[in-house]
Homo-oligomer: A and B are copies of this chain.
Amino acid sequence: MSTAPAAAAAFVASGVPAVLEELRSLFGDRLSTSAAVRRHHGEDATHHIAAPPDAVVFVTSTEEVQAVVRACVRHRVPVIPFGTGTSLEGHISAPFGGVCIDLGRMNEVLAVSAEDLDCRVQAGVTRKQLNDYIRSEGLFFPVDPGADASLGGMAATGASGTNAVRYRTMRENVLGLTVVLADGRVIRTGTRARKSSAGYDLTRLFVGSEGTLGVITEVQLRLQGHPEAIAAAVCSFETLRGAVETTILTLQMGIPVARIELLDELQVEAVNRHSRLDYPLKPTLFFEFHGSQSSVEEQAKAVGELAADNGGSGFQWAARPEDRTRLWEARHEAFWAAKELRPGCMAITTDVCVPISRLADCVLETRADIDAEGFTAPILGHVGDGNFHVVLLIDPGSADEISRAEALNQRLVERAIGMGGTCTGEHGIGAGKIDFLELEAGDAIATMVAIKRALDPSGLLNPGKVLRDSSPAG
Contacts and interface: CB of A to CB of B under 8 A. Distances in A.
Interface of A: 113-118, 157-160, 164, 168-169, 171-172, 181, 185-189, 191-202, 204-205, 207-209, 213, 224-225, 227, 248, 251-254, 292, 294-295, 298, 353-357, 385-387, 416-417, 420-429, 433, 436-437, 440-448, 450-455, 466-467
Given A197-B208, A205-B205, A450-B454, A443 B186 contact: yes
A441 to B, nearest CB: 6
A115 B356 contact: yes
Contacts of A188: 442, 444
Given A193-B420, A201-B204, A201-B207, 16 more contacts: A116-B356, A116-B357, A168-B172, A172-B172, A187-B447, A189-B444, A191-B417, A192-B421, A197-B428, A197-B429, A198-B441, A200-B208, A292-B295, A295-B295, A451-B454, A453-B454
Given A198-B429, A198-B440, A356-B194, A252 B115 contact: yes
A248 B200 CA distance: 28
Nearest to A446: B185
Number of copies: 2
Given A201-B204, A202-B447, A225-B254, A196 B422 contact: yes
Contacts of A195: 160, 164, 168-169, 171, 353, 385, 387, 422, 425-426
B197 A201 contact: no
Nearest 7 A/B pairs, CB to CB: A204-B204, A454-B454, A192-B420, A196-B422, A115-B357, A158-B197, A193-B353
A436 B198 CA distance: 9
A443 B292 contact: no
Given A248-B115, A440-B198, A454-B453, A191 B429 contact: no
Nearest to A225: B254
